[in-house]
Amino acid sequence: MTPTTGTVSDPDALRRRALAALLTARDRTSLLTTCVEEPELTAQHSPLMSPLVWDLAHIGNQEEMWLLRAVAGRDAMRPEIDGLYDAFEHPRSERPSLPLLAPAEARRYAAEVRGRALDVLESTPFRGSPLTDAGFAFGMIAQHEQQHDETMLITHQLRSGPTALTAPDPAPAPPFKGPAEVLVPGGPFTMGTSTEPWALDNERPAHHRLVPPFYIDTTPVTNAEYQRFIADGGYARQQWWTPAGWDMVRGNNLSAPLFWRQEGGRWLRRHFGTVEAVPPDEPVLHVSWYEADAYARWAGRRLPSEEEWEKAARHDPATDRSMRYPWGDADPTPERANLCQRHLRPAPAGSYPAGESPLGVRQLIGDVWEWTSSDFLPYPGFAAFPYREYSDVFFGGDYKVLRGGAFSVDEVACRGTFRNWDHPVRRQIFSGFRTARDADPTETV
């Protein structure tokens, strides 16, 4: 499968974009791995996560494998470590027992790989092979590093101890006074992409979907709204839960989102090393698919399907086309979406009017990953590229699709077509949701 259609019209611009994406990712990696002392890098803060030092060397190893070996045809620098940093060979819970590179050595290795990779970037023509067309391999590696940066940010949230990361809060927003939900008209739309040059294989190919009309929340569900579910006995009433979700609740004695606790009649949460009152207007965070689904049932609604979410995010009824983002085809900016770890929290619900969709749906990109009702499955015509282990091996499991990205996601790894997936029990991820409901087939905007 070729990662782009057509020809590259401006290889110099693509090369500058690739360079900027690689440097931005490395700056973030450095921040996440220098803000704590060495024992924090080598410790496993949760059996769900790798030690931070594993992620650091894995980032370098993948960059070496794809940019130095696959693109440039060079010999392996450290072939003996490939197995240590193969994500499929060793589960996360076992990685602390491996003979991993020490932090200083991992940094030297990643830096040496990066220096050589930048030389390869300067000399590689962005044409002639699926890996190099439009600089795909460089974009893939920038996305891979940013995805592991998000994983490391999750580890920082899970770790105990004092605050290691700081960032300004999102700008205060006036209370949102818009409608609670928006009608998305029924009809066909184009889902996925065959033209986005750095889109990954599970986003491809573009294809038509016929979607009945539906209503979707204008903003993600907030902490205050979720607290009403808790107060109404949401975690104590089996009727709202799937059988597997109820087993999770009872087996783990759950009563609130991860990191929440009640004290003196107030809900508090642990947030990157500090304890704070749960902000009522922020989108709820750290909820599993089972919790999102139970809330939706309690509210008399449901989770949107993946195709409904994408139509709400990308379809422009005025032009009858699918856009790259809710606001159009232009890249994200700080005025449009809460991305890139500029903040360490979601913005209040209703923020970012410049980023709303043509129908008025807000915060579809950034703030929180949004659970959908859909299983993670391939699109019609899917072809694995450049390796099966990115997507193909996950299809058909119990994975549920998340959409939209969160404050923890960089713009290089966030598009209107981007698909994330995880097990429905996962709560450590930066996940929230919005709800939907069916509309009458005759309803139009």
The tens digit of pLDDT for each residue in 253-286 reads 999 999 999 999 999 999 999 999 999 999 999 9
- Looking up tokens 């573009």 gives 206
- The pTM for the full model equals 0.96
Tell whether the model's pLDDT for residue 8 goes beyond 60. no
Per-residue confidence (pLDDT) for residue 6, from 0 to 100? 34
Whether the upstream peptide bond of residue 386 has omega within 30° of 0, thus cis, is yes
Residue (of 284, 339, 291) closest to 150 by Cα position: 339
Residue with tokens 């931005």, as numbered in its chain: 24
pLDDT of residue 444: 66
d(CA 46, CA 27): 25
Contact 292, 359 (CB under 8 A): no
What CA–CA distance (Å, rounded) separates 60 from 83?
A: 13
Is the bond preceding 424 in cis, omega lying within 30 degrees of 0? no
Question: How many CA atoms lie less than 13 Å away from 284 in the CB half-sphere?
Answer: 27
pLDDT in tens, 295-335: 999 999 999 999 999 999 999 999 999 999 999 999 999 99
Q: What angle do CA 116, 122, 123 make, to 5 degrees?
A: 95
369 strand-pairing partners: 431
